[in-house]
Structure 1
Amino acid sequence: MTRFSGVVMATLMLLWGCDGAPAVDQAQPWRAEGKIMGTYYRVLVASPPAAALPGLNEAIERQLAQDNHQISTWQDDTILSRFNRYRGTEPQPITAGMADIVSTALRIGAKTGGAMDITIGPLVNLWGFGPEKQPSMTPDARQIANARARVGLEHLRLIETDKGQWLQKTLPDLYVDLSTVGEGYAIDHLAALLEQRGITRYLVSVGGAVLTRGLSPSQQPWRVAIQHPTDEAVAAEAIVDLQGHGISTSGSYRNYYELNGKRISHIIDPVTGRPIDHKLVSATVIATTALEADGWDTGLMVLGTEKAKQLALREGLAVFLITKSDNGFTTWMSPQFSSFIISRNDKDA
């Protein structure tokens, strides 16, 4: 999910207990929560080993700060910001973690035909969803064309050798934006941190992405609800048992602003250079890692309902789509997603 200044509202609700609510007679989980990357994070741990707790909260904050220092475009001193400022074509050193996130993004970008494009930064900034201010007028065709000329995965190359990792751009002013996969990236690192401390029952969420392992405090599966796609809704379209997987939702109905009487979505189509305006309002993906899920959901949102369905079936993805219709909303899920479903709101199916 793409982020901007302020806090992103989550499109997934966290549940535990037999009926999807906290069980009052069960031990409450250890928790840590706060803000990072312009959104909220939360870590819930069931029955943590006593030896794992000392310094755990500080370790979580250090890990998040480390990830943010690598991929944030909001801070001038991050590795990614320095790469974006560099006006040359020589390979630049990056961390192994950044190489992992870029590799995943390039692979998914290719699979989506460029719909998920981490070089979309100039367009994100043009439309006011990056570090630059929101425009006071709708960008014109010339501005959009100029920004699109600096966008394209073919201009970015990842180099990995036994001596390290480098990132290279063939356009000197190419601007990389990793916010579409940043939440999943951070979650997977937090999960690894917990596992290293012997913690095997936990739920980690950052923004619109979640990863779970083991059972909740009530000895039931951790459950996550996909919200109904309106600004105020708290009702669930579906409740899933992640079975140790990651889940991420990208939606066009929460992150937007009004300009000249029109709603401007934060999801930009790299092909048109404009915010999406089709009827797909939410795409949820379940995958083995949070990074993988976070990479696919934005690409599916850009493609729209029919192309997203085709891609999900072709790639064997676990996908849940919500589309606006004349009578409200309709939902669709791939065969792979159905195995995670606990309950579903059938009125829109």
Structure 2
Amino acid sequence: MHPSVPRLRTLIALIALLAAGVGFSLLRPEPPVAELHMSGRTMGTTYNVKYRSTQNAPTLKAMQTEVDALLAEINHTMSTYDPESELSRFNHLRTTDWVPASDSLRAVLKAALEIGAQSEGAFDITVGPLVNLWGFGPEFHPDRIPLEADIAAARRRSGLDKVTLRDTQPAIRKHRPDVFLDLSGIAKGYGVDRVAELMTAHAIDHYMVEIGGEIRVRGLKGHETPWRIAIEKPLPGERSVQTVLALSDIALATSGNYRNFFEIAGRRYSHTIDPATGWPVDNHLVSVTVLAETSMRADAWATAFQVLGPERGMAIAERLNLPVLFVVERDGQFEERSCCAFQRYRKQELS
């Protein structure tokens, strides 16, 4: 996956906690916790992994070799920018016959269709023709408004009913030969989950995995301290903190519309397309942060809520008990709205 304009993510900074219990530590100092770090490129963006190694874990170099190989495999399965990927080959097939599919591709498709239904169609992996039409796809040219006839034609190729998968004789099929699937709103999260599973398989219990802003953490960063995740204010060109979360054993994704857009006649057109209209969303929602058990689900829901907007999104978040933070812009001011499940993760101040 190598998007020229990747799905916009609010830049996420990782901020270390101060050690807790200062008085106690002065009497009985704790030994320092050795934290290892690896980084690289994948899916058109960067990845970072921080973890506490264990006695029997592979060396850092060996671990990075495993991570790179795993991410390369995922990219070669789900990229729309690699013409030889499994997904690209499926997209270019002009058939409605069943096509054999890997376990990885079917797992992501299954989750995508489930979240698509739960989000009332807001998360739609068949929206690729509309994304491409508006110039935010592989052939990047976001500088014109498409004709209504072209939007209508692209919408006819889209919809959650246009693709089906089966587990017996594992396969997937289109219901129109020209259906085009785009997994950019969920594949990075899936990659984070797979790397997290790799760490756990090596008996590593304390780690942070991040790909392009999608994050999953397990255990603690230091001595009895959770991972501190700072979410930026949705301001182009600035680096200031909107809020801070204390996290452990959970995944986080943040999506925003304030950097990836084009402007014509004073109006901004976002890269996030509403499948229901075929047009870029325009709902005053500039940023949304989602917490979930897996990064794949957080990733997909972040896109879904960006489409749904704060009112419909809040109703669904409360109904499904999803921890979500919405940042809405009104008259140049930012307003936070969060559901009940989100409150226990917030830290009001950096300390």
TM over 0.5: yes
Separation of aligned partners in 1, 2:10 and 2:328: 18
Change (3 A) 1:26 1:175: same
Change (3 A) 1:257 1:29: farther
Aligned residue pair count: 338
Q: Per-residue deviation at 1:133?
A: 2.9
Change (3 A) 1:175 1:19: farther
Aligned partner of 2:43 in structure 1 is 37
Alignment equivalent of 1:142, drawn from 149, 152, 158: 149
Residues 17-42 of structure 1 show CA distances to partners (whole Å, capped at 9, x for unaligned) of 2289xxxx955621111221122110
Residues 94-144 of structure 1 show CA distances to partners (whole Å, capped at 9, x for unaligned) of 111111111111011011111110000101111112112315422111111
Residues 147-199 of structure 1 show CA distances to partners (whole Å, capped at 9, x for unaligned) of 111101111101112x4x21111110000000000111000000011111111
Q: Which moved more, 1:191-200 or 1:232-241?
A: 232-241
Q: Which moved more, 1:216-225 or 1:136-145?
A: 216-225
Residue identity matched to 2:215: V
Residues 48-71 of structure 1 show CA distances to partners (whole Å, capped at 9, x for unaligned) of 435322511111100110110010
Residue identity matched to 1:281: V
Q: Per-residue deviation at 1:316?
A: 0.9
Q: TM-score, normalised by structure 2?
A: 0.91
Alignment equivalent of 1:340, drawn from 325, 337, 345: 345
Q: Per-residue deviation at 1:211?
A: 0.3
Alignment equivalent of 1:96, drawn from 103, 119, 129: 103
Say if 1:52 and 1:199, in contact at 8 Å, map to a contact too. no
Q: Per-residue deviation at 1:264?
A: 2.5
Change (3 A) 1:297 1:6: closer
Question: What does 1:180-219 correspond to in 2, within 5 Å?
Answer: 180-219=185-224
Q: Which moved more, 1:232-241 or 1:194-203?
A: 232-241
SS at match of 1:322: strand
Residues 63-102 of structure 1 show CA distances to partners (whole Å, capped at 9, x for unaligned) of 1101100100000000000010000001111111111111
Alignment equivalent of 2:171, drawn from 163, 166, 169: 166
Residue identity matched to 1:11: L
Residue identity matched to 2:15: L
Q: Per-residue deviation at 1:319?
A: 0.5
Separation of aligned partners in 2, 1:71 and 1:263: 30
SS at match of 1:237: strand
Say if 2:3 and 2:81, in contact at 8 Å, map to a contact too. no
SS at match of 2:252: strand
Change (3 A) 1:135 1:216: closer
Q: Which moved more, 1:42-51 or 1:118-127?
A: 42-51
Separation of aligned partners in 1, 2:309 and 2:171: 34
SS at match of 1:239: strand
Q: Per-residue deviation at 1:204?
A: 0.3
Q: TM-score, normalised by structure 1?
A: 0.91
Aligned partner of 1:154 in structure 2 is 161
Separation of aligned partners in 1, 2:212 and 2:76: 18
Alignment equivalent of 2:131, drawn from 119, 124, 149: 124
1:269 aligns with 2:268: no
Say if 1:120 and 1:270, in contact at 8 Å, map to a contact too. yes
Separation of aligned partners in 2, 1:95 and 1:135: 33
Aligned-residue CA RMSD in angstroms?
2.1
Say if 1:285 and 1:293, in contact at 8 Å, map to a contact too. yes
Separation of aligned partners in 1, 2:308 and 2:65: 40
SS at match of 2:185: helix
Q: Identity, % of aligned pairs?
A: 36
Aligned partner of 1:14 in structure 2 is 14
Q: Per-residue deviation at 1:295?
A: 1.3
Separation of aligned partners in 2, 1:19 and 1:321: 30
Q: Per-residue deviation at 1:255?
A: 2.2
Separation of aligned partners in 2, 1:204 and 1:303: 28
Residues 278-319 of structure 1 show CA distances to partners (whole Å, capped at 9, x for unaligned) of 201111110111111111111111011101111111111110
Question: What does 1:307-346 correspond to in 2, within 5 Å?
Answer: 307-343=312-348
